[in-house]
Structure formats: C-alpha cells, structure tokens
C-alpha cells in the first residue's frame, strides 16, 4: 500500500510540474514579444520571401504570397500613397472623405490586411494540440512580421522605390514598424491616432479605459467578454468565425462610452487579431527602433479621442523628424467626423515635402 501511495505521489508531483510548466509557458508567451524590429528585413520568422510572387489576373487583389491575396481599391490619381487600416482587423469599405481634397495629386490605395475583410484568411482552425507549434504558425502566418512584410511586398508590386504611408490606429503602429524596418523606402508617414501599444505595458490601455467608463449595468457583460476574448488557454480550440464574432462584440461596448462616429467597415478579422497580440507580447519598447527613421512624420490626434493624447504624442517624440497636431471636435476617426480639418492638415504637411517627388508624378 505504501508503494501505491509513493506512485500516486510521484504522479501528482509530475502533474504539478506539468501545470507549473504550462503556466510558466503561458506567462512567457503572453509576456515576451515574438517580433523584434529588424526581423522582417532579415527574413526571420517569415513563411515566404519578401519578393512577391507573380500577380494573379484579378486587378482587385495583390498576390503577396502564393496562397495569400489582399483585396484593395484606390481613390485619386498621382503619387501612390498606402492607407493602412486599424482594428486590428477593421478594414474600410469606402475612401476616407478627409482625403477627397487630395485625390487630384495622390492615389490613395486602401487594402484589407491578410486575415480580414475580403483578403485571404489562411487559418480556419488548428487541428494540432501542440500549443507552441500553433503559436509559431499563427505568428508567422498572420502576426506583425507577416503584416509588415506585406507592406514591403505591396511597395514592390506597385513598383515604387518609396511610399507615403498613412496609418490609422493599429495601422499607425504597423506603419511605424515598417518605417523602422525599411526607412529608405518611406517618403513620409502620417499617423492618425496611432495605437497605444508602442510601449507595453502601457498606462491602462484601451480595454481598461472602456471598463472604467462603462455604465454599471454593462460591466458584468464586459468582464465576461474580456474573459472569453483573452482566454488564451483554450484559444486553439476556436475557429476563425468564432473569433471574428468575438471581435465584433467589442463594438457594442465601445459605442456605449463614446459618441464617436465609426465609419462602415469590412468584415472583421479573427485569428489575425490574436496573432498580432502574440507577436508584440505584453512587454516591449519599440521606440528606439523609430529613431532610425529620418522621413518626415505627421501625427494627428482628435481632441475628443478616447485614447489619451499622450499616447499619440509618444510616437511624435520617438521619431526624430515629427510634428504633432490636434484636430478639434474630432474623436478617433477625424478623417470621417472632421474631414475638412483633417484634409487641411494632411495637405499642408504633404505640400511641404520635397516637391521634386510630386512634380515627377505630375509630369509622368
């Protein structure tokens, strides 16, 4: 009998070690960034080369990998300018009204990032139970590195040596990281309410800000949503549709605390959102990487944005050649709620950039 108890004790000890090990792994994965600036340029952690494959016959899609195509549409004519949406995973269905005044000089290209909208969603569900392998696959397929690599592939598809990038919210974060990876390919950056994830952990963050402002009768539902949304212990039992629906629930809570008008968007992402969360982890500081970017940068912030002004200013302070402007009576989508003021700021900024670049496109 004593031997039986020894065996049981040994089994329990092994289970305890396993539980502690899994817990430590979850802590490590959730805390440590899988992406570091410079990885994309070096080709680390990519599932395909930076050079895009031959393009398909559908002009509405860019073929960035053999099995991944990105839906896109354009507005205007002139110098190519890439608009990078936020969310993560919230593409636009219509051109920004705030850029209408510039469409005679610039061609604004809008695209759905991989994993959302009409673009390829390469992961439906994970069949394997190996957590580490699933994290690696998710990161390399849909994470920060993959999204940044797509911007570089788009540049090559467009045949441009340099691009103007306009990034909104999480798209501003992506645009900043691309510029840090490929500073020689950036003419200028315009960051609109860039996401408060440049440094992690941050001071509260969006999820905490919403929790603090919600009416009392919605807090229990929000707490339940947060628990389901960040249940990374069971995340690989879910599928794309489930995660996309879970992401869509967030809009209800956001709308309850702000009068900010949200433009109609395309179908939200599922796996791609969590892929980028895994990529950046909970502890990083990407500010030093931005110091290598010499291109001019404009950071715009809506005076009524739920996101603190300090979060947007952090980007302006990290770039060596940046300016910061606040748009009055605007929230998180100033290009939509204050299009004239937004367009005027962008027009003033771009008109001050090297005119030889614009003259080249005007004469071509």
Confidence grade of residue 3 (pLDDT, cut at 50, 70, 90):
very low
- Least reliable range by pLDDT among 51-65, 150-164, 330-344, 346-360: 346-360
The whole model's pTM is what? Answer: 0.90
pLDDT single digits (tens) 199-226: 999 876 788 889 999 999 999 999 999 9
The four Cα atoms 227, 233, 239, 240 give a dihedral, to 10 degrees, of 60
| Alpha-carbon dihedral sign for residues 337, 298, 306, 271 | positive
- Least reliable range by pLDDT among 101-115, 222-236, 250-264, 349-363: 349-363
Tell me which DSSP letter residue 188 carries.
Answer: E
Strand partners, 6: none
| 3-class SS of residue 146 | helix
What pLDDT does residue 354 have?
Answer: 60
pLDDT single digits (tens) 283-321: 999 999 999 999 999 999 999 999 999 999 999 999 999
* CB 349 within 8 Å of CB 67: no
Confidence grade of residue 263 (pLDDT, cut at 50, 70, 90):
confident
Dump the DSSP string for 49-69. -SS-----S-TTEEEEETTEE
How far does the chain reach from its first CA to its final CA, in angstroms? Answer: 90
Domains and CATH numbers, the chain: 39-363 (3.40.50.1820)
Confidence grade of residue 353 (pLDDT, cut at 50, 70, 90):
confident
């Amino acid at each position: 009998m004593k031997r039986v108890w020894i065996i049981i004790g040994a089994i329990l000890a092994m289970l305890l070690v396993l539980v502690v090990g899994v817990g430590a792994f979850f802590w490590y994965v959730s805390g440590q960034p899988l992406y570091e600036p410079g990885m994309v340029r070096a080709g680390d952690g990519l599932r395909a080369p930076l050079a895009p494959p031959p393009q398909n016959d559908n002009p509405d899609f860019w073929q960035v990998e053999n099995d991944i195509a990105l839906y896109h549409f354009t507005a205007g004519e002139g110098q190519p300018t890439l608009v990078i949406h936020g969310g993560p995973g919230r593409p636009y269905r219509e051109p920004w009204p705030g850029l209408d005044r510039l469409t005679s000089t610039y061609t604004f290209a809008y695209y759905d990032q991989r994993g959302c909208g009409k673009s390829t969603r390469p992961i439906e569900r994970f069949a394997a139970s190996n957590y580490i392998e699933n994290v690696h696959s998710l990161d390399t397929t849909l994470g920060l590195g993959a999204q940044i690599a797509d911007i570089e592939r788009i540049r090559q598809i467009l045949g441009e040596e340099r691009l103007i990038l306009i990034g909104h919210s999480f798209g501003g974060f992506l645009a900043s990281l691309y510029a840090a990876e490929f500073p020689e390919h950036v003419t200028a950056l315009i960051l609109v309410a860039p996401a408060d994830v440049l440094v992690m952990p941050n001071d509260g963050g969006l999820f905490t800000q919403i929790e603090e402002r919600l009416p009392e009768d919605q807090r229990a539902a929000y707490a339940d949503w947060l628990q389901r949304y960040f249940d990374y212990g069971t995340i690989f039992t879910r599928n794309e549709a489930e995660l996309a629906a879970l992401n869509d629930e967030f809009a209800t809570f956001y709308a309850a605390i702000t009068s900010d008008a949200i433009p109609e968007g395309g179908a939200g992402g599922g796996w791609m959102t969590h892929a980028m969360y895994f990529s950046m982890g909970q502890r990083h500081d990407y500010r030093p990487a931005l110091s290598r970017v010499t291109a001019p940068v404009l950071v715009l912030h809506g005076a009524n944005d739920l996101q603190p002004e300090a979060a947007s200013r952090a980007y302006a302070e990290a770039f060596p050649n940046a300016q910061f402007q606040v748009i009055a009576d605007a929230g998180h989508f100033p290009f939509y709620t204050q299009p004239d003021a937004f367009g005027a700021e962008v027009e003033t900024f771009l008109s001050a950039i090297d005119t030889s670049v614009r003259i080249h496109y005007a004469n071509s």
